[in-house]
Structure 1
């Protein structure tokens, strides 16, 4: 079977357009994301920190001091509106007050809810490492311009170009099987090992917190864990 390099469909997400192709991209965009079956597994209340802090095959994207007294791990989806609300409204204040001051170590992990979110995470992994969080913040701030339009490919292409990715790099990124497998590894382990079943899901020193809490509730939980 010959794969046309210019023909890949965003099926399963109500959009169809051409994109630089390849088997990996076809696998990524050619079918909807399948939820992980949790079966009768009991609801998790807290996670073992040593196990939680095991990095995935692509490494971690994190801010702050790894030796900080408080660690927050977030599992998010780039197409999740609640995740966007957290990152647009609460995250900047947390970053300034806790991450940048060494009080909290923040780890951001991929939990894509659909193929478009997976593609966005892959693109974030392809920008220079120093620009990773800047690109993620831009994606959340402009979520309505690429995640919820009839031209998701065009929207992601524009966002990637603004981050310095050429069309060639864009296509290479979305045909990178290693990236796809790495993102899926993080999601699968989050679901199967840590009971992540929605986004955003946070772990604050191992305690699971589901949903985008307002700033004051985050501050209360963090302050209780900081040395007096």
Structure 2
């Protein structure tokens, strides 16, 4: 495999064409990738949150004491499990109470992940994008399959897309470039080499379980400082 990951072609139709190939010929190509093994345990918050050409998709008040940044891949099973379990608990206890701001950043490990991320982005509305991400994770097993194109179109229509706008979104080469730049920056500058990866006020969370308790070990002391 050349480079750090499967390299996304820059031609404007590539994602849509690959989805067609996935559905009608070669079947689904699993999400995996080998990234540079860079051990970075902490990143200055200002550097981590610096603009990178894409608006932040976030939940929670902007001035919360704690900011969690997640790097996620939409086809990643561990990411889906996190969002269906731990994230829901964090949201209820910390995000909805104004203590934590949660930022979702795309780190697509394959073309299907990029397609899911692009659809969320094309809504051009933070709340709608976050809601679509939730649906994509809850139905991940359906669209990370040989039925990818059909299921993604169905989900997209429920979010307000037409077939025309769905196809136009997946042909947006500039958006694809921005997603790739975000992924590459996270890899090279922040040492992100797997999904999901988390930074809590700039500190990398090292956890095998991704349980609420593991997050609280880091969040608690930060909240107690205030």
TM-score (norm 1): 0.82
CA separation of 1:138 and 1:8: change in aligned 2, threshold 3 A: same
Q: Is the contact made by 2:35 and 2:193 (CA closer than 8 Å) also made in structure 1?
A: no
Aligned to 2:19: 10
Alpha-carbon distance in 2 for matches of 1:194, 1:212: 21
Alpha-carbon distance in 1 for matches of 2:135, 2:18: 25
1:118-146 deviations in Å (ceiling 9; x for gaps): 00000001125131111100100110010
Alpha-carbon distance in 2 for matches of 1:106, 1:59: 14
Name the SS of the counterpart of 1:188 in structure 2: helix
Alpha-carbon distance in 2 for matches of 1:154, 1:68: 39
1:76-121 deviations in Å (ceiling 9; x for gaps): 0001010001000111111121112111111110001100000000
Say whether 1:186 aligns with 2:182: yes
Q: Is the contact made by 1:122 and 1:179 (CA closer than 8 Å) also made in structure 2?
A: yes
Aligned to 1:43: 39
Q: Is the contact made by 1:44 and 1:208 (CA closer than 8 Å) also made in structure 2?
A: yes
Aligned to 1:77: 73
The unaligned stretches of length 5 or more in structure 2 are 1-11
* Superposed CA RMSD: 2.6
The unaligned stretches of length 5 or more in structure 1 are 19-30
How far did residue 17 of structure 1 move?
A: 3.7
- Total equivalences in the alignment: 207
Aligned to 2:4: none
How far did residue 183 of structure 1 move?
A: 0.9
Alpha-carbon distance in 1 for matches of 2:79, 2:31: 18
Alpha-carbon distance in 2 for matches of 1:183, 1:213: 25
Say whether 1:137 aligns with 2:140: no
Question: 1:142-221 to 2 correspondence within 5 Å?
Answer: 142-147=139-144, 149-210=145-206, 213-221=210-218
CA separation of 1:176 and 1:34: change in aligned 2, threshold 3 A: farther
Alpha-carbon distance in 1 for matches of 2:117, 2:178: 10
Q: Is the contact made by 1:44 and 1:194 (CA closer than 8 Å) also made in structure 2?
A: yes
Match of 2:84 among 85, 88, 93: 88
Deviates more, 1:84-93 or 1:62-71: 62-71
How far did residue 37 of structure 1 move?
A: 5.4
How far did residue 227 of structure 1 move?
A: 2.9
Alpha-carbon distance in 2 for matches of 1:223, 1:75: 22
Would you identify which runs of 4 or more consecutive aligned residues in structure 1 move more than 2 Å? 7-11, 31-38
Larger relative contact order (CA 8 Å, sep ≥ 6): 2
Alpha-carbon distance in 1 for matches of 2:54, 2:78: 25
